[in-house]
Amino acid sequence: MTKELIILDDDLRWLEARIKELEININDLGPDFYDALNQSSETWHDNAPFDALRDKQSVLFAELTQLRKLRLQRSLQKPSPTRDTANIGATVILDQHIIFIAGDWTYRSGKKYGDALVVSAASPIALAVIGKKVGETTDFGTIKAVQW
């Protein structure tokens, strides 16, 4: 069985919207395929517009398949906030860094969320701080505060 993934609500909303967008984009390729298949060419295998459309469809479908897989793997339970303990969904203030710990998967990884840098729960910095309390030291510094 595959591991269940914790995906925060904001990330799940983005995931659902992106899946719908990809489905629409793939369906919208239908008329373009019709046009590409009905263009005259010297030989049946010499149809660059069709090849380009097929490649575009393949890329869109690969992303769609991956996002659907993520949606199926998501856990319905999220960790509960614990006072002064770093966990998924918390903003953690370290000596030199402010990080927001997203779930196991996030589209926001590496981006700013307020003053915090978004990291996935599987990142080295998140793994170092999850479960630690304010005042404990990690390889990335001492935890100064945990905000929910």
Residue 40 scores a pLDDT above 80: no
87-103 tens-digit pLDDT: 999 999 999 899 999 99
Residue 43 has a pLDDT of 57
Report the C-alpha gap between 21 and 15 in whole angstroms. 10
Residue 3 has a pLDDT of 85
Contact of 104 with 115, CB cutoff 8 Å: no
42-60 tens-digit pLDDT: 555 678 888 899 999 999 9
Q: 54-61 long-range CB contacts below 8 Å, 24 or more apart?
A: 56/29, 57/26, 57/29, 60/22, 60/25, 60/26, 60/29, 61/22, 61/26
Residue 32 scores a pLDDT above 60: yes
Residue 77 scores a pLDDT above 80: yes
**Rounded percentage of the chain residues whose pLDDT exceeds 70:** 95
Q: How many residues does the chain have?
A: 148
Find the distance separating the first CA and the last CA of the chain, reported in whole Å.
32
